[in-house]
Chains A and B, each alone.
Chain A
Amino acid sequence: MRISDNFKVLNYKEAVFDLDDERGDDWLLKDLFRSKQKYVTIKQREEVDSSAQPEQQGKKELPDGLWKKCEQCNQIIYHKDLEKNLKVCPKCQYHFRIGAWERIKILVDPGSFKELFANITSCDPLNFPEYQEKISKSKKITELKEGVVTGTAKIGGVPLVLGVMDFNFIGGSMGSALGEKLVRLFEYALTHELPVVTVSAAGGARMQEGILSLMQMATTCQAVNRLAEKSILFISILTDPTTGGVFASFASQGDIIIAEPGALIGFAGARVIQQTTRQTLPPGFQRSEFLLEHGIIDLIVNRKELRNTLARLLRFHQRRKLEIS
């Protein structure tokens, strides 16, 4: 995608530069370090979950934080290089999962993000087994209070509201608090007539809040619906993974739906499909490219190009009087 001269500020190299810019605002600097830590822990956590911890500790060939192995092509990548490449494998373009704050830094004009509704967090309305522990653990790992960060920002100088989910917070699952933050964001957009961008990374509705989580699909959908009242643009970005009740609600209802390459996107899980129907699933099933082919999403955009693409789309939708001279 070409960047016109007007959009110099959006050049992705600048986005890259931001990541290493230690002269940035306080929050930029803080999040730079936070994001690095988070990134290292992702894979480890998964292995702990599959109870392979001893093995993991036994074969620690790569010093933590210095090198990273690409999960797709096994390329060993120098940590700094990966950071510079926005956590995309330089060899195979595999898009690593990234946290909410990392994402925000990549997407928005430097220093433009102002967080909203930061004090909303989950409770345990059903007294569900191990839920409290899960919440505390997620809070510790992600340093977030909830699985979505919401706020206002500018992209290419265009003001908007932005909601970014974090898969490391209980699988990005949508419970009451997450739903509430999103709905407030949509309502804020409606009141202030600002375009909406959401970035999804979620396994679905949060089981631990039972039916109340399911109802968040209804509230978020209805809130999205109301955006039409004032012709407010809603761009939904789907990242790896966006599945279940999140995909089957607000995330699939963007005016424009963008996915990162290779992201897992779908409603029912592939394993369940195979178990239930004994169908053989084609390679690439429920990946971004599959969804594009089946007409479910508008665009697949590389992480590097995401900011530019958003800026262009936002600009298309800026209100102005139409005149042809």
Chain B
Amino acid sequence: MANGSNYNLDFEKPLKELEKRIEEIRVFAEEKKIDMSEEIARIEDKSRKLKKEIYEKLTPWQKVQIARHPKRPTLLEYSELIFNGFIELHGDRLYRDDPALVGGLAYLDDIPVTILGQQKGKDTKENIYRNFGMPHPEGYRKAIRLMKQAEKFGRPVITFVDVAGAFPGKEAEERGQGEAVAKAIMEMGALTVPIIVVVTGEGGSGGALAIGTGDRVLMLEHAYYSVISPEGCASILWKNATEASKAAEVLRLTANDLLELEVIDEVIPEPLGGAHTDPVSTAATIKESLCHNLRELLHRDSQELLLMRYNKFRKMGRYIEE
């Protein structure tokens, strides 16, 4: 997996060229000691407009690429930017601590909450340590433990979803990955405290849903959430993983698609250029959304919450009754 510096978004190529030209002119102006600020401003303006144009017309596949950007902010960054006093808690008490799923205690403004989510690495070394953010069963079991703990102490739970998919590995199967995912979904269905889910990057299938059953499901503008990866879908449909961009279209996996399908409640806008270009403002927008959603949920008693949560997912299917 590429690290931040050499991960290129193809569709940003014209932008990169403009930026390069601006830089060249700057160097040239410096060398020759001439004022070219007007020219620079002109190109910068052009670049801004182009960027806006590109980002307004992003295809689903382009969004997937943004969602996978190695510099996209992760939970550990958000834990500092959105919350105060984060204390990470470790382990599932059964097997080991899974670094691919982190969680702990934090304050959202003054409200104590439990936060948890998948954690990708920032470079190859960290990614290997964190298994590219793909939890093993013990990761989901840690999530369950922390959620039950939150319930015991009446803390709301906020989960951050960013996972390519469940981890395809021998050990994960041996230790009952399917059971762990299902159990997490079940436990979330019965948790008597409010749950807010934020899909921040990749919402990869069962691995995402495992921590995705909340009273509110929010999604960043360029995140995606899908039953299968576009590559996987393409190789099934057209026997060719390179058709992924076509698959991304038919799967309806963007935040707006999901809002339309009534699977999520809210799309959280990202700064122009994506969350990675400005984690601080992204975090601020997420925080705003978390606060107003949590405020609403805190008014409800637990029985009401449970019923609402049940009905929320209950009505998501589309079928015919003849």
Interfacial residues, chain A to chain B (CB-CB below 8 A): 119-123, 125-130, 145, 175-177, 179-180, 183, 205-207, 209-219, 221-226, 244-245, 247-253, 266-269, 272-273, 276-277, 279, 281, 285-286, 294-296
B227 touches A273 (CB 8 A): no
Considering the complex, give the chain B residue whose CB is closest to the CB of A294: B174
A296 touches B176 (CB 8 A): yes
Looking at the assembled complex, report how far the CB atom of A78 sits from the nearest CB atom of chain B, in whole angstroms: 37
- Given contacts A205-B227, A210-B252, whether A248 and B237 have CB atoms under 8 Å apart is no
Q: Mark B173-192, 1 if CB is under 8 A from A, else 0.
A: 11111110111011001100
B316 touches A217 (CB 8 A): no
Secondary structure type dominating chain B contacts: helix
A122 touches B319 (CB 8 A): yes
A296 touches B179 (CB 8 A): yes
Interfacial residues, chain B to chain A (CB-CB below 8 A): 166-170, 172-179, 181-183, 185-186, 189-190, 205-206, 209, 212-213, 225-228, 233, 236-237, 250-253, 257-258, 261, 263, 309-310, 313-314, 316-322
A268 touches B182 (CB 8 A): no
- Given contacts A120-B321, A217-B185, A294-B176, whether A277 and B168 have CB atoms under 8 Å apart is yes
Best-surrounded residue of B185, B227, B251, B252 (most CB of chain A within 10 A) = B227
Contacts of B205 in A (CB 8 A): 205, 214, 245
B179 touches A120 (CB 8 A): no
26 A-B residue pairings within 8 Å (CB atoms): A119-B321, A120-B319, A121-B322, A126-B252, A176-B316, A176-B319, A205-B228, A207-B236, A211-B226, A211-B253, A211-B258, A212-B318, A221-B213, A223-B314, A225-B186, A245-B206, A249-B185, A250-B182, A252-B176, A252-B182, A252-B183, A267-B206, A272-B168, A273-B169, A279-B170, A286-B173
A266 touches B189 (CB 8 A): no
Secondary structure type dominating chain A contacts: helix
A225 touches B319 (CB 8 A): no
Best-surrounded residue of A145, A221, A225 (most CB of chain B within 10 A) = A221
A219 touches B316 (CB 8 A): yes
Cα distance, A129 to B261, chains bound together (Å): 18
Cα distance, A226 to B182, chains bound together (Å): 14
Looking at the assembled complex, report how far the CB atom of B186 sits from the nearest CB atom of chain A, in whole angstroms: 5
Contacts of B190 in A (CB 8 A): 222, 225
- Given contacts A211-B225, A226-B310, A267-B177, whether A217 and B318 have CB atoms under 8 Å apart is no
Contact of A218 (CB < 8 Å), options: B174, B228, B313:
B313
A215 touches B177 (CB 8 A): no
A221 touches B320 (CB 8 A): no
Cα distance, A18 to B314, chains bound together (Å): 38
Contacts of B189 in A (CB 8 A): 218, 221-222, 225
Considering the complex, give the chain B residue whose CB is closest to the CB of A125: B318
Contacts of A222 in B (CB 8 A): 185-186, 189-190, 213, 309-310, 313-314
Contact of B178 (CB < 8 Å), options: A126, A128, A210, A247:
A247
Cα distance, A286 to B177, chains bound together (Å): 12
Contacts of B186 in A (CB 8 A): 221-222, 224-225, 253
Looking at the assembled complex, report how far the CB atom of B100 sits from the nearest CB atom of chain A, in whole angstroms: 14
Contacts of B227 in A (CB 8 A): 205-207, 209-211, 213-214, 245
Contacts of B166 in A (CB 8 A): 248, 267-268
Looking at the assembled complex, report how far the CB atom of A118 sits from the nearest CB atom of chain B, in whole angstroms: 9
Cα distance, A126 to B251, chains bound together (Å): 7
A268 touches B169 (CB 8 A): yes
A210 touches B177 (CB 8 A): no
Cα distance, A271 to B177, chains bound together (Å): 16
Cα distance, A304 to B189, chains bound together (Å): 37
